[in-house]
Chain A
Amino acid sequence: SQQGEEDPQALSIQEGENATMNCSYKTSINNLQWYRQNSGRGLVHLILIRSNEREKHSGRLRVTLDTSKKSSSLLITASRAADTASYFCATDGEYGNKLVFGAGTILRVKS
């Protein structure tokens, strides 16, 4: 079963604009991760934020985590056409032995 939901389901922006995706989850977590998936391919790990962290940066990515609201956001700044992909948040399972993914946000960056 899916842990949570991403919002929006799909997002279309112009190159150079910022893209924000949100993720909600249901249970307590140790960490939350974001992955990218290009069409029909495997997932690429982007960033991990631990439950005691509120914000984390990596290059053009900024992730926030609000454990009181059980939600996270991923911001991609100065988007590029190559950022076109599906983005998934994933939380660790009850014993940290598996990842539980949301349904994903499809991002399209138009050049």
Chain B
Amino acid sequence: DTGVSQDPRHKITKRGQNVTFRCDPISEHNRLYWYRQTLGQGPEFLTYFQNEAQLEKSRLLSDRFSAERPKGSFSTLEIQRTEQGDSAMYLCASSPERNTDTQYFGPGTRLTVL
């Protein structure tokens, strides 16, 4: 069990650029979640997948954001036309089908938009 991994760990981009983050969940975890955390706050839910199906999206997920999990394994989160307000830590978590109560978090991707 290697844990949830995220790539990259840090991303600096200029306003208006597109960025894509990747999350690899724990093997055989069928649920995958994305959260966003700004400085001094707790994580806020963005979206979650059960296998390849995206079952819920937060209102925080504007139309500039898109998430995919094409084969039910890794997931990508893309932000188009980044804005300075998108600067945050993007956290991915996964949970197994037999116990969805506990989510296991990755180390996060810290995005800085200049």
Binding site for B on A (CB under 8 A): 1-2, 30-31, 33, 35, 40-45, 48, 88, 90, 92-93, 96-104
Contact B41 A42 (CB under 8 A): no
Q: Number of residues in B with C-beta < 8 Å to the partner?
A: 25
Chain A residues, CB < 8 A from B100: 96-97
Is B21's beta carbon under 8 Å from chain A?
no
- Further contacts, 15 of them, CB under 8 A, given A42-B105, A92-B101, A93-B45: A2-B44, A30-B101, A31-B101, A33-B101, A42-B4, A42-B107, A42-B108, A43-B43, A43-B93, A43-B105, A44-B105, A45-B105, A48-B102, A90-B42, A96-B101
- Cα(A41)–Cα(B107), bound, Å: 5
Contact with A99, one of B56, B89, B103 (Cβ below 8 angstroms): B103
6 pairs of A and B residues whose beta carbons are closest in the complex:
A101-B42, A98-B45, A42-B105, A43-B105, A42-B107, A88-B42
Q: How far is the CB of A39 from chain B (nearest CB, A)?
A: 11
Is B40's beta carbon under 8 Å from chain A?
yes
Contact B43 A97 (CB under 8 A): no
Contact A97 B48 (CB under 8 A): yes
Contact B43 A101 (CB under 8 A): yes
Contact B107 A98 (CB under 8 A): no
- Cα(A1)–Cα(B58), bound, Å: 10
Is B29's beta carbon under 8 Å from chain A?
no
